[in-house]
C-alpha cells in the first residue's frame, strides 16, 4: 500500500472513528481522496454529514458512509461493529482516532471518562473487528495516542473505574493515552505473523475541538503551540498508508517517524495486564 498515487487506496476499506471534525475529518477525507471506501464512525450524524458531503464532492474519491458510534457506551460500540460486519466488506484500515481531553465524568459503561472513551471504546471496537481485519490482511490498526502519555506514571486500576478525580481531567487523559500506546504494542505482539500491523502516534499539538473542555488559561497556553488539523493528520496518514510503515508494527510515531514512547509505555507486562483487565471488564 502506498500513498504516492492518487488512487493508491482504490479497493481498500477504512473505518475512522471521530471523523466528523479535527484530525479524523482530514484523515477520512485524505483516505477517500486516495480512493479508499471510508466509513465515518461518529456520535452525531448531524455533525458528520458535512464531512460526508465534503468527501462526496471530491472527484474520484472513494465512497463514504456514516456509522453511529458512541465509544463511551459498549452497546453502541457493538452496534457499530455489527453494522460494519453486516456489510460483508473487508477492513484494511481501522483508525482509532476519536478522543476527548480535559473533560470530567464517567462513561455510560462506567469508566473514567477519558479512559472509557479513548481506551475501552476502541479496545472493544478493535476486538469486534479483529477477525475481519485478519481476513483482509494486509491490514493496519492505527491508534491516535498523544505525547501526553509521557506524563502518566502508570495505570491506577481503581481510578479508571471511577469518575474523573482531577479538576482538569488532564492527568486522566494522559493515562488514557498511555493505555492507547500499551494497547497498540500488545496488539502487535498478538497479531505477529497475521499480516495485520499496528501503530500508535502523537499527531502534534493540533488546533482542533479536542481542547474544548480544557479551562481557558491552560487552553490559551496550549494554543500558542498549535499546528493545523491537516498537519496533524500527517502522522496518522503515514502510519495508515506508507510502504515504510507497512514493514513495521507495534511502534509509536511522532512527526511520521518511530519514536521511543515512555518507559512505562514499553512495559510489556503492564500492556498484557491492561489487555487482560480490559477483556475482563467487557464480560
Ligand atoms: N488536538 C491535539 O492537539 C491532539 C494532541 C494529541 C493527541 N490528540 C488526539 O487526536 C485524536 C483526535 O483529536 P482531535 O484533535 O481531532 O479532536 P477533536 O477535533 O475534538 O475530535 C475528536 C473526535 O472524537 C470524537 N469523540 C469524542 N468522544 C467520543 C465518543 N464518546 N464516541 C465517539 N466519538 C467521540 C468527537 O466527536 P464529537 O464531535 O461528537 O465530540 C470528534 O469527532 C484524539 O484521540 C486526541 O486525543 C490530539
> Could you identify the atom of ligand 1 that is nearest to the CA of residue 148?
6
For residue 1, is pLDDT > 50? Answer: no
Q: Is 173 a catalytic residue?
A: yes
> For 118-147, what is each residue's pLDDT tens digit?
999 999 999 999 999 999 999 999 999 999
Please tell me if the CB atom of residue 16 comes closer than 6 angstroms to any atom of ligand 1: no
Mean pLDDT for the stretch of residues 99-126 = 97
Catalytic residue among 150, 173, 199, 253: 173
Q: Give the whole-angstrom CA distance, residue 18 versus residue 77.
A: 13
Give me the chain's average pLDDT, please: 95
193 alpha carbon to ligand 1 midpoint, in Å?
31
Residue having the nearest C-alpha atom to atom 24 of ligand 1 = 98
Mean pLDDT, to the nearest integer, of 91-100?
Answer: 98
Cβ burial of 266 (10 Å; 0-12, 13-18, 19+) is middle
On the question of pLDDT at 4 being above 60, the answer is no
> Which ligand 1 atom is nearest residue 229's CA?
16
Amino acid at each position: 500500500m502506498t500513498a504516492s498515487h492518487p488512487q493508491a487506496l482504490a479497493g481498500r476499506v477504512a473505518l475512522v472513528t471521530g471523523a466528523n471534525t479535527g484530525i479524523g475529518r482530514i484523515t477520512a477525507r485524505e483516505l477517500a481522496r486516495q480512493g479508499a471506501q471510508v466509513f465515518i464512525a461518529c456520535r452525531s450524524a448531524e455533525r458528520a454529514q458535512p464531512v460526508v458531503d465534503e468527501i462526496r464532492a471530491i472527484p474520484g474519491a472513494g465512497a463514504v458512509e456514516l456509522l453511529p458510534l458512541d465509544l463511551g457506551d459498549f452497546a453502541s460500540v457493538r452496534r457499530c461493529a455489527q453494522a460494519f460486519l453486516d456489510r460483508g466488506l473487508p477492513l484494511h484500515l481501522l483508525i482509532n482516532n476519536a478522543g476527548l481531553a480535559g473533560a470530567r465524568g464517567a462513561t455510560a459503561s462506567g469508566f473514567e471518562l477519558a479512559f472509557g472513551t479513548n481506551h475501552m471504546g476502541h479496545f472493544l471496537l478493535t476486538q469486534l473487528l479483529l477477525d475481519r481485519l485478519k481476513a483482509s490482511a494486509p491490514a493496519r490498526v492505527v491508534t491516535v495516542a498523544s505525547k501526553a502519555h509521557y506524563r502518566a506514571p502508570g495505570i491506577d486500576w481503581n481510578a479508571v473505574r471511577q469518575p474523573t478525580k482531577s479538576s482538569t481531567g488532564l492527568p486522566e487523559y494522559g493515562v488514557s493515552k498511555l493505555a492507547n500506546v500499551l494497547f497498540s504494542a500488545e496488539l502487535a505482539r498478538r497479531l505477529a505473523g497475521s499480516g495485520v500491523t499496528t501503530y500508535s502516534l502523537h499527531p502534534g499539538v493540533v488546533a482542533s475541538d479536542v481542547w474544548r473542555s480544557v479551562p481557558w488559561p491552560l487552553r490559551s497556553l496550549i494554543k500558542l503551540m498549535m499546528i493545523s488539523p491537516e498537519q496533524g493528520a500527517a502522522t496518522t496518514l503515514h502510519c495508515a498508508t506508507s510502504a515504510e510503515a507497512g514493514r513495521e508494527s507495534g511502534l509509536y510515531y511522532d512527526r511520521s517517524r518511530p519514536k521511543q514512547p515512555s518507559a512505562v509505555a514499553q512495559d510489556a507486562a503492564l500492556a498484557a495486564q491492561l489487555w487482560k483487565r480490559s477483556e475482563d471488564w467487557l464480560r
